Structure formats: structure tokens, C-alpha cells
Structure 1
Amino acid sequence: MADAPGPLGLVDEQALDEVVTFTSELIRIDTTNRGGGDCRERPAAEYVAERLAAAGIGPTLLERTPGRTNVVARIPGTDPSADALLVHGHLDVVPAEPSDWSVHPFSGEVRDGVVWGRGAVDMKNMDAMVLAVVRGWAREGFRPRRDIVIAYTADEEASAEDGSGFLADRHAELFEG
């Protein structure tokens, strides 16, 4: 991976390190969705929003139900005539029984070059990758050709009523273009 160039032809070692750190730290935030509204994504949403804001990307936090938080941000592109691209992930995870795991499911432990925990492959890893990439773009001063809309949603593992359903029904303007 170290040979893969970024948008400006350089490897962003900081982004490579950040994706591991962000994945581990997001896993440590227990966002277990047991259905029936039994979940609280807000701590993970605040984590993501803080890192976006630190990179100069203005996040918007939105809730239908208190604690069921979504994050949306738009990175302006260089070509206003180009359609926007939506990149999204969810912040909740399915339940995990610690006794079924060789590593605690909310440890975010890095072992043998692998991040372990609930969400390491669905979907906190992808959330972390998107976060690391857009922060890398900000450091490099890179702007994509088209607007990039980033959404981190709540409630994907159950009904989506507090997540993508809520965003589409009540905040469609954030996805224009």
C-alpha cells in the first residue's frame, strides 16, 4: 500500500496511520443496534464530526431521535456543473457476544497487522477510510472535480428510520446534485 500514490502523486503516510487509529477508536465506541431504537450512535457521530471539523470540513449533525445521530458534510468540487457523488457509511453495528470472541469485540485491538472488533469489516473500517482520505485531501489542498457528499448514518442495522430514511425524508436538500 505504501507505493500507492495519492491524488497529488504522493503517499500520505499520515492517512495510512489514521485509518488504523480511526478504525480502532470507532470500534471502541459501542454502537450496538439491537433494534427497536436500542442504540446510541451519537458518540461515534461526534468522533467523526470532530475529525472532519479539524480538517476544515464542516459537518452537520442531525437526529430524528435523541442519541441516534447522523453526520453529513459536503466537500465542494472544482466543477459546479458536475453531479455530486455520495459516499456513505453507517455508525451502528450488530450485537456481539464477548464470550464468542477471542478478542473483546469492542477492543479495537491491532494484532498481527489486523484491527479486531465489531465493525472492523462492517462498517467502521470504511467509515475510517473515508475520514482518512478526506482529511488527506485537506492536508494536500486537493479538491475533487465534483462535490463529494459524505454521510455517516445511524440505524442501518435495523430500520434506517433514524438514519438514511430520516435524511432522505427530512433533509434531502443536503444531497442535491
Structure 2
Amino acid sequence: MGANETSEAGEPSRAVDAVALDEVVSFTSDLIRIDTTNRGGGDCRERPAAEYVAERLAAAGLEPTLLERTPGRTNVVARIAGTDPTADALLVHGHLDVVPAEPADWSVHPFSGEVRDGVVWGRGAVDMKNMDAMVLAVVRAWARSGIRPRRDIVLAYTADEEASAVDGSGFLADHHPELFEGCTEGISESGAFTFHAGPGMALYPVGAGE
């Protein structure tokens, strides 16, 4: 279906962005290969993943800010300006760290980012480098198409979610609240998975407050 064609329901339809589909896979694999294992006690280094994200946001015309409480424990924040300055802003956030993985327990190396049988394998493929990559791909697709959201979108890629969050969201909230000015809602991983509650029943959780 072309970009200017109409769906059977009579609604305008956009063509699928093939570049975005390729990028979401490659970005997920690349991020998995960057070992950001968080063992607690400060034993993690998210900076390489943060720099990877920031480079791709900058290539989409954004101005990402890298922020650290502790050297190497890096957060990335960027804002996409909306078309309506009176509208409330929306926070879209994900974390860059992952829980530990023992390679001997895996049939595919957990930090390989291998694509096999139509699936990306590795630690973080579900929690949550997949969503990190998806957001990157969408933002870059918007830039290519000249799309701007109505409301400001604040993007945050945080450190230390899998432990105390003192180097991640806690640090940002306490020391850089101005970056989230106007945000009235946030979207993150709680809606990024499907919960199969029974035969024929799929739930898509939404966290109203956490």
C-alpha cells in the first residue's frame, strides 16, 4: 500500500517504513552485544550503550544529553518538540542495563544478539533493549518523513534500573527534573510485552502508577 493510498476501512494509510523494520532488528542486536550487566553494588557500565543511543538520536536531528551520577553509569535524555506548545508532554523511557546471564545456561550466547528463526536472541531481547531499539527506530523514521508529534516527547534511556536506580531514574528525578518539564504521563516496558492469561486470552498490561 502506498503512502497516499487508503485502507479498506477508508482511513488514510502510511506505507511501512522498511528502513525502520531493519533498524529495529539491528539496533536490538547491537545493544545486546554491548554487555551492560548490572550485578548490583555499582558493578555495571552503561556508557557504551548510552553513547550508541545518543549517536543515533543525534543523527535524527535531536540533541541528546548524557548525564552521570557515577562515571560510566550514563543516562541519555532528549526532547522532541511537538507542534502544539500548549499540550502536555509525554515521557517515553527505557533502561540500558540488564540482569546477569550465564552463557552455559543458554543455547545461544546471551550477548551475541544473534538473529535465528526470525527472532533476536540474547539478554535484553525482552527486557528491554528491544523497546529501546524500537523507540530509536520510530524516532528516526519520523525524522526521515518529517513527522512531528502534537505534544513534546521526552526520551529517557536510563542506567541502573535492575538494581537501586540511584544512578538512573532516581538521579535524574532528583537532580535534573527540568528535563521532564510538562510531562504528565510516561510510557515504558510495562506495556512492551504480551501476557498470555489463558487459551485465546492475551493481555497487554498498562501500569497506571509505579
2:99 corresponds to? 94
Deviation track 1:100-140 (CA, whole Å, cap 9, x = no partner) reads 00000000000000000000000000000000000000000
- Which whole-Å CA distance do the structure 1 matches of 2:16 and 2:63 have between them? 25
Q: How far 1:57 sits from its partner (Å)? A: 1.0
Deviations 1:61-90, CA, capped at 9 Å, x for gaps:
000000000000000000001000000000
Computing the radius of gyration over CA atoms, which structure comes out larger, 1 or 2?
A: 2
Aligned to 1:17: 22
Q: Where do 5+ consecutive residues of structure 1 fail to align?
A: none
In the alignment, structure 1 residue 55 sits paired with structure 2 residue 60: yes
After TM superposition, the runs of 4+ consecutive aligned structure 1 residues lying more than 6 A away are none
Give the RMSD, CA atoms, in angstroms.
Answer: 1.2
Q: With a CA cutoff of 8 Å and minimum separation of 6, indicate the structure with the bigger relative contact order.
A: 1
The answer to whether the 8 Å contact 1:42/1:68 transfers is yes
Query: How far apart are the structure 2 equivalents of 1:84 and 1:31?
Result: 29
Shift of 1:11: 1.2
Does 1:46 pair with 2:51?
A: yes
Unaligned runs of 5+ in 2: 1-6, 183-210
User: Percent identical across equivalent pairs?
Assistant: 88
TM alignment of 1:10-159, pairs within 5 A: 10-159=15-164
Q: Scaled by the length of structure 2, what TM-score is found?
A: 0.81
Partner amino acid for 2:50? A
Residue 9 of structure 1: how far off its partner (Å): 1.5
8 Å contact kept, 1:8–1:142: no
Quote the Cα distance in structure 2 between the aligned partners of 1:78 and 1:96.
43
Matched length: 172
Q: Is residue 40–residue 67 contact of structure 1 (8 Å, CA) maintained in 2?
A: yes
Residues in 2 aligned to 1:143 and 1:13: alpha-carbon distance in whole angstroms? 19
> What secondary structure, in the 3-state scheme, does the structure 2 residue paired with 1:71 have?
strand
With the length of structure 1 as denominator, give the TM-score of the two structures. 0.95
Deviation at 1:10, TM superposition (A): 2.1
Q: Partners of 1:8 and 1:78 in 2: how far apart?
A: 21
